[in-house]
Amino acid sequence: MNAGTSAPRPARHFASGAKRVLTLPVVALAAVVLLVAPASQSTAQEEGGSDSLSQAIEDYLNAQDELASLEQQQEDLEQELVDSEAEVVELQAEIEEYAFVASTTSDYQSTAALLASGDPQDAISAMTMLQFLGESRVDRLNTLITRLAEIEATRETLADNIEEQEDVAAEMQDARDEAARELAASGGDAADGPTASDAPAAEPYEGGDGGCTEDDPTPADGCLTPRTLHALEQAQIAGFTRFVSCYRPSGSGEHPKGRACDFSSEPGGFGGDAGGEDYDYGQNLAAWFIENSDALGVKYVIWYRQIWFPGNGWSSYSGSYGDPSSDHTNHVHLSMR
């Protein structure tokens, strides 16, 4: 997370048995951004929308776990291959050494050694042990050569399985993201939402910058940049599923560019000044966006008469009309790079 240098980060306060709440600092005015106030909307949640997203997330995580298991098997197999190949080289050297020793103690040389020995039985025992060691090395070498062939065959099978599982994981990710978009389109639900610390971290955005090329799934029904759509999906996946509106065809700022979304602090739409659980929801959502600002590509966040910029932290903010929507006391505004 980019920590502010000229202003302190929002402090987090914990109370026994209470949810974590983010408290914004009161500092001098640093910047004023004029945004058109979002219109009041109230849309009922689509039946089972949140359950569908939860199931899609579970399917995706299961697919990722299976992929990780296969990749671990592949890593273990590669290590066994390295160890086995090293042992083959060592055994081959020992067998060559045995062959040399055996050749110097065979035939007439062996007989002469036995006759000249003060204890022929000791000489016979030594030669028997030498022969056994040679045979055991050969047996071990043959076992290793067989295992190397098995490893090679298993490597090919694992590589195919990993490729297939990567496709499955990608499909589950697409299904998860689609469920997140459907939930955004439904108008959100009445869930309290997670604390910033409980919400999973956002997956880094890896696509191109792009223009306003993606369908806006929220009731605003416009277009979004790929990065903005990704941030919206990630917020929904993290559990912040209340009403959202993104695109706006007119006005200043990032909304007409498809680079901004307004996340209501209330379940059904934009109302008055947030209080109680609605205020906590906005606090935690703003904190989550800040904590994941680098991964998502956040340009700035506005919430409850405060504005946050990467590298600068929180500063005072006042809207142009003095109402909850203009002052952003009923929603968290997110602008993307």
pLDDT digits (tens, 9 = 90+) for 278-305: 999 999 999 999 999 999 999 999 999 9
Q: How far is residue 270's CA from residue 279's CA, in Å, rounded to a whole number?
A: 13
Residue 99: its pLDDT value, please? 74
Q: How far apart are CA 290 and CA 295, in angstroms?
A: 10
Would the pLDDT of 41 be above 70? Answer: no
- Top-ranked range on mean pLDDT: pick from 42-46, 124-128, 202-206: 202-206
| Stretch 188-204: mean pLDDT | 90
What percentage of the chain has pLDDT greater than the value 90? 52
The pTM assigned to this predicted structure is 0.64
How far is residue 172's CA from residue 158's CA, in Å, rounded to a whole number? Answer: 20
CA gap 304, 287 in Å, rounded: 12
Looking at every residue in the chain, the average pLDDT score rounds to 80
- Highest mean pLDDT (candidates 29-38, 83-92, 250-259): 250-259
Token pair listed for 309: 């910029």
Taking residue 304's Cβ as centre, other Cβ atoms within 10 Å add up to: 21
Q: How far apart are the first and last CA of the chain?
A: 15
Answer yes or no: is pLDDT of 186 > 60: yes
Q: What is the pLDDT of residue 94?
A: 77
Residue type present at position 226: P
Highest mean pLDDT: which of 47-61, 197-211, 233-247?
A: 233-247
Q: What is the pLDDT of residues 206-251, one digit of tens each?
A: 988 779 999 999 999 899 999 999 999 999 999 999 999 999 998 8
CB 285 within 8 A of CB 330: no
Write 138-146 long-range contacts (CB < 8 A, 24+): 138/95, 140/87, 140/91, 141/88, 141/91, 141/92, 141/95, 144/84, 144/87, 144/88, 144/91, 145/88
Report the percent of the chain where pLDDT is more than 70: 76
Q: How far is 228 from 300, CA to CA, in rounded Å?
A: 12
pLDDT at 44: 32
- Other beta carbons less than 10 A from residue 248's beta carbon: 21
13 has a pLDDT exceeding 70: no
Question: Burial code of 21-45, b = ≥16 C-beta within 10 A, e = fewer?
Answer: bbebeeeeebeebebbbbeeeeeeb
Sign, CA torsion 158/159/161/162: positive
Of 5-14, 251-260, 276-285, where does mean pLDDT reach its minimum? Answer: 5-14
Contacts 24+ apart (CB under 8 A), 205-212: 205/230, 205/231, 205/295, 205/296, 205/297, 209/337, 211/258, 212/247, 212/257, 212/258, 212/259
When mean pLDDT is compared across 50-64, 89-103, 176-190, 270-284, the lowest value belongs to 89-103
Q: For residue 324, which amino acid is it?
A: P
Q: How confident is the model at residue 189, as a pLDDT?
A: 72
Work out the average pLDDT over 87-115: 68
Q: Per DSSP, what are the bridge partners of residue 117?
A: none
Highest mean pLDDT among 25-34, 206-215, 248-257, 304-313: 304-313
- 324 contacts 269 by C-beta, under 8 angstroms: no
Dist CA 1 CA 220 (whole Å):
30
